[in-house]
Structure 1
């Protein structure tokens, strides 16, 4: 009798169906999502709940044998012991994960692997809950065989949110077709510290530009419906103010006042949340002594109460454990888990921040059942909203056809073209003629596929990436002799080919010298448990890597013998074109003074070589603009354009202004601004200001201009920036064509935080400025706001 009763209790508690019994409510697709969530949570044990919010590292969860793929013993053990409901980076391949082109998964096998994981999870757990799979997607899905776009700093250099939204849609489609549900990105940290290793992952130094790019990425990732089979949840990184660490040390403390936090660092996140972002990742740093992964003001008051966020918050990798080991605000793992979940961190990216520690915290009464259930519900809501309980599987054949298709490759080239910033072009050396007899292509980044792609990039088949050398050769293969010499490495000074490079330059009509940096990881580099590189050189050879997560710099000088190489090439008297491929602003003082042409390509992605060649030979007219200021010296940092008043004064050694300012970039076309007008709507309760002006192409070459609108609050009750970007638009103009650009400003866009920390539109005078960069103001006018 006891055995019968026990069986009946098990049937009722698990929801298993017997003949004539209705299926559990949570499995009914016709039922409201909230009802399904509540029903499922009511059936779950403490261990199952904690498992749902524990995100394990996924790349060891599949087993590949030739062309067959299935679940691994590690996954079976993790599911049995931890009841995990989420995996991260299952399809990731790079030196840290030790997944190569041979041991990793192509798109077809990736889809088969995620299907196998889902099938095992659904069929071998008590409640049959499908997995939620998160992947890195900042400039392409970080998996083998996907399309690699320019890194984020290049994306923002396009100043074209519509294009970036298209790119994000392509990335989402590629990731979703392989079984992913969450795309980590965009990174919305303001990059105001160029020594910091992750500048390449950001959209630059300005909150308005960051916000526009963040909105574009969220819309592109999430689309109109998560059930589309083409979209993924967007995870905003890193909340908050992660990009300005003291000394440039990745993950270090920041010194940002509360007013500046709200006026500059939080608005891009707010914009993306208002655009519908459904996930947010905490940052490693602390703000005013409170780690971001245990900060209830950030995660509860601001994110949820003030902004209305209803998605889920996930920790950065290991950041919950970091409360114990790094910040030392917790005495043990149990206290760290308690601090995090009570502050509003719903999911643990690591699997060891919560897990047993959180279970013990709940049992000890440190964490209430209501807090735990709320976190679990936020994660389950995504699974139900994506329809995973009805169909957690994807079509491997479709993945094979859609990932890195021709349209996406062409889109990668377009984004790269629009991202290129022409910094200097004396005497119109560019565009080059395709009838040149000889070109010397020189430099460590001229023919290195990985140095061109940036961090968070999977291994690549060589034929998938077009280098600068290859792009040039394809342009002039039938007319011009192209001689290539590497010259030197990025960092290694043990050997060089400078003499050979000089000989090549002497015998050429023009020398294209491709310099910069690298975020290319290799198997020689040592890595931390978070995946950040240690920056320790190998005993065998010095890695090129001088940027990318963990590679913070003390200076911004070109490393190795690069500047020596360039100086020797310049001495030949051959016209020199410098192309920069890098992840952060570098010291360009000597180059700017002595070289007639400079093209900044950042990390331009797999089609970078084609895009650069398009610009060099005039098949594409460059119009990229800098999203970050280029300093003259690390000694003048910070040098971002919208610093607080008063205007900085010059140093003894150098000017206070940057070498190249925010918003700067040249074109083969010339543009004229005129007829500025400023008008206000009649409704004084909600003033709407319209600013319009005309731009005319006064050259014989069609091209794009990036119109930028800046505002200065002339007298404010709290100190305000010397100027602040408010609006921008990239427009195309044919020769002699003129267009009217119209921008509208809401009252909220002119507000400040007053002494009482309240947002207020103060009456008074504003200067409105329009131009081609933050320093190249072409027209300006006055705006008066009445009481």
Structure 2
């Protein structure tokens, strides 16, 4: 039976309470009966009026309990869909957000988000039909992350749409609209634009950092895309950031709330970043309040309606102590109830069209093909010397695939990810592409010194007891999450490397509530330093000789954990590994290690010497860059990066491979810019593949062997050296991103090559544009090469008269189009007058009179690597006096 049949309507509840006593309500109900749209605001107000103070406060935390007397079910507000439905089991996984940005394709963003929201709706209704209303099972999604990737060191930059606010805003509008749907009364999902405001690392400082941007930087860079998604996409939720803005934590900042609601017209709800309210009173954080009670009152008064954390229960005491009124709580709670009503969570069956999306759309064949199409579109060809690419798959007899990113599922998926049923790594994609060739594989080197090359601990070193007669570990499977009572099943598992997904280990056990304990002896035959590690979605613990070696209890950031230990040959070590599966939709339990290996490089060189061509899969990993991580690797700190170089382990191996003189292709898998200066000079072909999602391996193979012509563009600048830009903690935009950087980058924002060539001509722009008017740009584009291909047409405006506080160059329009050989198309761009504006010292947007240069092409006009004719430009004059807008 569907979830809707189990829940009484809010309409009924409110109607019972207010019947014959409120003419306004009666009139409202009559209007609705006559076909008027539902008055959710009135219904929310009526329902909130029936709640006690304690009940109201309970509904303002992300884990909102049921109120049985009002037939309100439990609801968990926390969900993620950054590039596919995340952390809720099976889902289609698209490229990481930075890869989505590299497409420069608004239409594809719409297609992706519609697929994601279809899967989200289908999964929610499946959960609800089974009475499941926990984390990652609702309809309120904390996506997208639209912060500006202003510095390549930021570990979470991979979650964003890059460094340009125009690009980020245009893509985010499409993504949000696709998530929230097109029904006039009901939302498909709630999208959340995060993190507001002025937030982009360092991760280690985010709980105490105070951002004080200039008016120019705030209006030019940090706010315009947030304003755009409020005004153009109608985003229904905003997540406030951990950091402070102008001296007040963002989640307790009245200035930011006023900007959103009063200036921009935002009418949804604001949710705190997780445990951000705790930062108000924690030692070493913002420390603006004495305790949770005071902090929570500050946050709600400043418009933070929903708390991801555990601070808001103290609001009961805050009201009783006079720190905040119950009426002030009502404002926030009514917003939250309206959101639930708009999602149709209490609507009668059949009222919401999205409830009919079948579960079999999840990771369906159609969606897998869309993931492949998206991965292809995200690929950026950085270099192709002497047409090294594409390789002829019919002539390749032996090929070497080298690199620890060549066969790593984690590098496909990035972070905030779901779990596809058929992921294709680069190695697998190349093997499938060349069924008749000899495809050899070698790891070659560690991704970085200190990051293990993981594999399941083999049965050759695991034993049930000290006698070492029986290989493997003794396993006890419990049908509860606390190892109580007798195990449901006992057996010997020779290795612990299980991915059950949403299936139970045994048919007579529940798939989402169980625990497993493995015990035995670990005994190695070589003394050395070993990395012992584990992976599990819910929680895990590992003990060595009775000592707790490591533990993790975090469904919010499920990643591998590990510790290096010295093991002596022949010595028996008692090992115990415990994992708990607690109400999650994806079960993975793996006991991992890295044993000492001295010949990784030799193995790679051997297969490379015997190959017709070499494919190097290098870059970085979500185990190195990400959100507030405990990383013990040189060059990385707390999830951020210290520099932008490839780790030494990779750089050294690449040089040795290059010295062999074989045709060599470098494929980069990473979420942020890399300073591959030597590689750019010495490797003939380079592809930027990002974290490409479930079909990434197929897409990479398609590009390498010419079954797809790449057209992706860089959404970030690749600098030659991190010292070319200001310090990471400096939030002034001067010197950062293509809009302010004055040096020569390795690769510019917007850069990317193709296997065909495009010619631009007949640029038509008025010679003089009246200040304060919109204007039209027309250009003709022709595919003058021999192959089908897509082109990303980019329009830039350069203002040589702008002062140092304003960008001298900015993207003002873009379009991705497909061309047959010889095909011509005329493009017309309508340019908003605001694209010409600068911000003066008073914080006003104005349009200055004078000369401007407008260019249209496949890259920025300054990029010398682009072929002649691939960019056209023209100088125009803005007439009259400066105009305020």
Return the TM-score normalized by structure 1: 0.81
By how many angstroms is 1:642 displaced?
A: 3.8
Q: Deviations over 1:427-452 (max 9, x none)?
A: 10100111211110110011111122
Cα distance in 2 for partners of 1:407, 1:49 equals 43
By how many angstroms is 1:198 displaced?
A: 0.4
**Corresponding residue to 2:600 among 478, 492, 497:** 497
Q: Deviations over 1:115-168 (max 9, x none)?
A: xxxxxx47x344535636441110111121101110110000000011011101
Query: Is 1:600 the counterpart of 2:661 in the alignment?
Result: no
By how many angstroms is 1:746 displaced?
A: 1.9
**Corresponding residue to 1:444 among 393, 397, 404:** 404
Q: Secondary structure at the match of 1:349?
A: coil
Partner residue, 2:391? 432
Q: Secondary structure at the match of 2:301?
A: helix
Partner residue, 1:327? 286
By how many angstroms is 1:754 displaced?
A: 2.2
CA spacing shift, 1:21–1:489, aligned 2, 3 Å = farther
By how many angstroms is 1:725 displaced?
A: 0.7
Query: Is 1:535 the counterpart of 2:493 in the alignment?
Result: no
Structure 1, 371-380 or 281-290: larger mean CA deviation: 281-290
Q: Deviations over 1:643-686 (max 9, x none)?
A: 44xx73xxxxxxx221111000000011111121112899x686
By how many angstroms is 1:490 displaced?
A: 1.4
Q: Secondary structure at the match of 1:423?
A: strand
Cα distance in 2 for partners of 1:131, 1:247 equals 32
CA spacing shift, 1:695–1:327, aligned 2, 3 Å = same
By how many angstroms is 1:688 displaced?
A: 2.1
Query: Is 1:554 the counterpart of 2:634 in the alignment?
Result: no
Structure 1, 749-758 or 177-186: larger mean CA deviation: 749-758
**Corresponding residue to 2:779 among 693, 710, 714:** 693
Structure (1 or 2) with the greater strand fraction: 2
Partner residue, 2:552? none
Query: Is 1:284 the counterpart of 2:242 in the alignment?
Result: yes
User: Is the Cα contact below 8 Å between 1:680 and 1:688 reproduced in 2?
Assistant: no
Query: Is 1:564 the counterpart of 2:652 in the alignment?
Result: yes
Partner residue, 1:176? 121
Query: Is 1:772 the counterpart of 2:858 in the alignment?
Result: yes
Structure 1, 209-218 or 326-335: larger mean CA deviation: 326-335
Matches within 5 A, 1:175-254: 175-179=120-124, 180-225=138-183, 231-243=188-200, 245=202, 252-254=209-211
User: Is the Cα contact below 8 Å between 2:207 and 2:279 reproduced in 1?
Assistant: no
CA spacing shift, 1:502–1:641, aligned 2, 3 Å = same
Partner residue, 1:159? 104
Matches within 5 A, 1:667-746: 667-679=754-766, 687-716=773-802, 719-746=805-832
CA spacing shift, 1:744–1:21, aligned 2, 3 Å = closer
CA spacing shift, 1:188–1:397, aligned 2, 3 Å = closer
Q: Secondary structure at the match of 1:580?
A: strand
Partner residue, 1:149? 94
By how many angstroms is 1:576 displaced?
A: 0.7
Matches within 5 A, 1:53-132: 53-56=60-63, 84=64, 121=66, 124-128=68-72, 131=75
Return 5+ residue gaps in structure 2 as ranges: 1-11, 125-137, 451-595, 727-734, 864-869, 881-885
Structure 1, 386-395 or 505-514: larger mean CA deviation: 386-395
**Corresponding residue to 1:514 among 613, 617, 624:** 617
Partner residue, 2:877? 784
User: Is the Cα contact below 8 Å between 1:226 and 1:232 reproduced in 2?
Assistant: no
By how many angstroms is 1:489 displaced?
A: 2.3
Q: For the aligned residues, what is the CA RMSD? A: 3.0
Partner residue, 1:369? 326
User: Is the Cα contact below 8 Å between 2:448 and 2:648 reproduced in 1?
Assistant: yes
By how many angstroms is 1:460 displaced?
A: 5.5
Matches within 5 A, 1:474-493: 474-478=432-436, 480-492=437-449
By how many angstroms is 1:369 displaced?
A: 2.6
Query: Is 1:573 the counterpart of 2:661 in the alignment?
Result: yes
Query: Is 1:47 the counterpart of 2:54 in the alignment?
Result: yes
CA spacing shift, 1:32–1:284, aligned 2, 3 Å = same
By how many angstroms is 1:634 displaced?
A: 1.1
User: Is the Cα contact below 8 Å between 1:640 and 1:662 reproduced in 2?
Assistant: no
Cα distance in 1 for partners of 2:191, 2:842 equals 34
Return 5+ residue gaps in structure 1 as ranges: 1-12, 57-83, 86-120, 526-530, 649-655
Cα distance in 1 for partners of 2:280, 2:179 equals 31
Between 1 and 2, higher relative CO (CA 8 Å, sep ≥ 6) is seen in 2
Matches within 5 A, 1:249-328: 252-254=209-211, 256-274=213-231, 275-300=233-258, 302-325=259-282, 326-328=285-287
Cα distance in 2 for partners of 1:328, 1:392 equals 48
User: Is the Cα contact below 8 Å between 1:191 and 1:244 reproduced in 2?
Assistant: no
Cα distance in 2 for partners of 1:209, 1:572 equals 41
Structure 1, 169-178 or 383-392: larger mean CA deviation: 383-392
Query: Is 1:628 the counterpart of 2:706 in the alignment?
Result: no
By how many angstroms is 1:228 displaced?
A: 6.4
CA spacing shift, 1:136–1:281, aligned 2, 3 Å = same
Structure 1, 615-624 or 719-728: larger mean CA deviation: 719-728
By how many angstroms is 1:488 displaced?
A: 1.9
User: Is the Cα contact below 8 Å between 2:717 and 2:738 reproduced in 1?
Assistant: no
Structure 1, 465-474 or 562-571: larger mean CA deviation: 562-571
Q: Deviations over 1:305-355 (max 9, x none)?
A: 1110000000000001111111111121112112211111111012x1211
Partner residue, 2:83? 139
Aligned pairs, number: 679
Structure (1 or 2) with the greater helix fraction: 1
Return the TM-score normalized by structure 2: 0.72
User: Is the Cα contact below 8 Å between 1:226 and 1:386 reproduced in 2?
Assistant: no
Q: Secondary structure at the match of 1:418?
A: helix
By how many angstroms is 1:553 displaced?
A: 1.4
Cα distance in 2 for partners of 1:764, 1:417 equals 42
Q: Secondary structure at the match of 1:469?
A: helix
Cα distance in 2 for partners of 1:783, 1:739 equals 24
Cα distance in 2 for partners of 1:192, 1:172 equals 29
Query: Is 1:453 the counterpart of 2:540 in the alignment?
Result: no
